[in-house]
A and B are shown apart, each in its own frame.
Chain A
Amino acid sequence: MLLPPWHTLAEPGRGLAESVALAQLRLPAESSELRRARDEVAAAGTRFGLERKACYELVFAVNEAVTNAIRHGSPSADGTIGLTIEAEGDELVCLVSDCGPFVPPRRRRDMATEEGGRGFAFMAALTDQLELSVEPNGTVIELRKRREVKVLVSDA
């Protein structure tokens, strides 16, 4: 029987995996920090084994979340926002947190002409799962991206 050396599982098992912290950063709430945020997520994504395209998409989505936190959120007393990167099973999880209440995006009047308001559309489209937690002490956005699971198929 001819089989490819590996095939891709579309839905790897979820929910049981432990999460392992890969990076815990406090970033000054300044736009000059965006590059660092992107570099950290890209490095973690590559090490974790995200496909190149998936990694780029996650970097883009996290950059949007960090941009929102810088623009609309409130930094903590030391002027920073949080970026945590965790591995959970076959998902890379990025958490972007600030200390402010959630500022809902302005309702877009027209996607074709409005300048702003696309951040969440991008985040939702470019991640496997997007979650927003509004807590008394701040706002956390959780962005998840799954890696492909390659399974060796043996004839034995």
Chain B
Amino acid sequence: MGFLEVSEDVTEDGIRVLRISGDVDFDVAPELKQRIVGRVEAGDRKLIIDLSAVGFIDSTAIGVLVAALKRLRDTGGTLMVVCNNEDVRNIFATVGLESVIPLHRSDEDAFAALAHAG
């Protein structure tokens, strides 16, 4: 298995930010899943997945995000994805995923959306 490049922050409000970098393919998607599930099981309810430094994310990793979003929503939480890369945004749009997982252009946009979501 590969090595997921990720760093983490938590805000004062308890919002967990995972900043991912590099290519996120099937080689590292299981690790991404493990990391997110671990955070949710530890009690995190608001997650921001920052893909600003990701130039490639495949369907298996996108699936991990979709499943995490559902799981969080089922427990009253939510997940926001930050992505400003046009290639990646185009991929999401191609199969209509931008309506499933809204992509925010910056951390600030994602925080604002979280605040709005309560």
Residues of A within 8 A of B (CB): 31-32, 34-35, 38, 53, 56-57, 60, 63-64, 67, 70-71, 111-119, 121-122, 125-126
Residues of B within 8 A of A (CB): 1-2, 23, 25-27, 56, 58-60, 62-64, 66-67, 70, 87, 90-91, 94-96, 100
* In-complex Cβ contact of B100 among A60, A63, A112 (8 A): A112
Q: A31-B26, A38-B56, A60-B56 are contacts. A118–B62 as well, Cβ < 8 Å?
A: yes
Q: Are A121 and B95 in contact (CB under 8 A)?
A: yes
Q: Are A35 and B100 in contact (CB under 8 A)?
A: no
Q: In whole Å, how far is B23's beta carbon from the nearest beta carbon of chain A?
A: 7
State A113–B91 Cα separation when bound (angstroms).
18
* In-complex Cβ contact of A118 among B23, B27, B59 (8 A): B59
Q: Are A67 and B87 in contact (CB under 8 A)?
A: no
State A53–B67 Cα separation when bound (angstroms).
28
In the complex, what residues of B have CB within 8 A of residue A32's CB?
A: 1-2, 27
Q: Which residue among A35, A60, A71, A119 has the maximum number of chain B CB atoms within 10 Å of its CB?
A: A60
State A102–B58 Cα separation when bound (angstroms).
21
